[in-house]
Amino acid sequence: MSTQRAPDKDLEDLAASARAALVREIEASGAFAADPGWTEAFAAVPRHLFVPYYYVSGAGGYERRWGESPDPRTRERWITGAYEDTPLATRLRDGELLSSSSQPSLMALMLVELRVEKGNRVLEIGAGTGYNAALLSYRLGDEQVTTVDLDPEITESARRHLAAAGYHPVVVTGDGARGVPERAPFDRIIATCQLASVPRAWLAQCRPGARILTPLATGLVALTVRDAEHAEGNFLHTPAYFVPLRGADRPEPEPVALGGVPQRARASDLFRFLLALTRGTLDPQEAHAMWEREERPGRERYGITVGGEHAWAWLDDPEGPYAWPLPGSSGKA
């Protein structure tokens, strides 16, 4: 006999109210402005079904909130917390965060920037809870969406969550850096985990004109694919911090030798973004000199070019004076 708690009408009403409030909050931020079609998706897909439990950090460590708690007040906190515009830690191991549900307003911004069209085939790198795949499935249909994750426990729980919410995209257990060739070609690829470079396998699995949106160096870069070996695009203006991709192409630790760099720059999110983007190719003093000379540029002035075996980052112009190899790449051709 199942011991799962029967649905609580008061909790369902609370969830509906909290979900509507979250949608209004995201809408007020302007995240849906360029594509209002995502408003309906966020209003329809119940986030709480994808986070049956999550962890909230506090002075005494992590507090576990879960929907099956015998305490009705805990269940209410679980519901209201599930619809706050914050990321939720969903999987921990020895104090290390392995998986999370991203901040909904950032998810909205990323989905809008993915610029999906009817009939697009989408690959998501990093299945997480399954919530993002559900939003994509609502908008495009189950058969158009593939999501992949390295951890079989994560993909299995994502399948359960998706099924509970009524969605059945293809969920694959595998290394996201290698893509999912058996489901290619794709029109869009979106990653919800931090990478150090753009895997060449993704380009090879894309149709010409496809769009790739991925976290890189504490930012989000949107690339247009020209062919199986070439892609180029700019970063978005927003910062983005994600759990690193497990498997290949993990980011290296951030450099710590900042001697000679003024405290103002050390404390600047934009300068630390530049350091992450130039890691191993420019020393901090060179990076700081450029940053000051160019009046502390925002993320949107930077871009990435992938060409054959080479990949490089640049400021303002891929053929301009400020260009350097991406970490782990042989650089500009």
Q: Say if residues 80 and 13 touch (Cβ distance below 8 Å).
A: no
Q: Say if residues 148 and 201 touch (Cβ distance below 8 Å).
A: no
For the chain, the straight-line distance linking the first and the last C-alpha, in angstroms and rounded, comes to: 64
Q: Which of 278, 275, 269 is nearest to 298 (CA)?
A: 269
Which tokens hold the place of 227? 């062919």
List 51's β-bridge partners, or say none. none
How many other C-beta atoms are found inside a 10 Å radius of the C-beta of residue 132?
24
What are the C-alpha distances in Å from 13 to residues 20, 86, 185?
Answer: 11, 21, 41
Q: Say if residues 103 and 85 touch (Cβ distance below 8 Å).
A: yes
Active-site choice (2, 17, 69, 99): 99
Q: Say if residues 135 and 117 touch (Cβ distance below 8 Å).
A: no
Has 101 been annotated as catalytic? no
Which tokens hold the place of 243? 């759990």
Between CA 265 and CA 136, with CA 107 as vertex, the angle to 5 degrees is 150
Would you name the residues annotated as active-site residues? Answer: 99
